[in-house]
Amino acid sequence: MTISEKSAYLKGLMDGLNLDTEKAEGKLISAIVDLLGDVTKKVTDIEDTTIAISDELDEIEEDLDAIEDYILDEEDEDYEDEWDEDDFDDYEDEDDFEDEGFDFGDEETTIYEVKCACGNVIAFDEDTLEEGSIICDECGETLEFSFDDEDEDEE
């Protein structure tokens, strides 16, 4: 039996007893039954709202799962495009990378990229940026960097 059914049952019992609502006991019982009816309505409204919110959250979760799957699928494809398992056949464990003299640099160093007119993408660090220029390996063009815009913004 639901809370609404129980409340209606108690109201029916009170009506069936033909209580005199002019006496103190009758007034008290009548007020309690009315209060239970109001509480029942509020609880039912809260349950309905909770169910609606739960349904919305389920839909949001499904959407987020779909987005996550889509993003992870793209990352997997990008990763597969960049690296071939054969590239690592010569290395049996991680220590081999250090033995070959690979230097992965300082993790706090910011790496910048610029695309030359020839299409070559050149990666460089802050030291090169401060020098103000870099030469493209592909076409030999000198690419210059300027901080004039930053100086104007600061003023």
Is there a single domain that holds both residue 110 and residue 50?
A: no
Burial class (CB in 10 A: 0-12, 13-18, 19+), 7: buried
Token pair 């309690």: residue: 32
pLDDT at 96: 46
- Look at residue 93 and tell me if it is in a domain: no
Q: Are 1 and 34 a contacting pair, CB within 8 Å?
A: no
With cut-offs at 50, 70 and 90, classify the pLDDT of residue 26: confident
Are both 67 and 13 inside the same structural domain?
A: yes
Check: pTM over 0.75? Answer yes or no.
no
Q: Which two tokens stand for residue 112?
A: 């910048």
DSSP 91: -
Q: Which domain covers residue 74, as residue numbers?
A: 3-82
Per the structure, the count of domains in the chain is 2
15 with 75, same domain: the answer is: yes
Q: Using a pLDDT cut of 90, give the percent of the chain over it.
A: 25
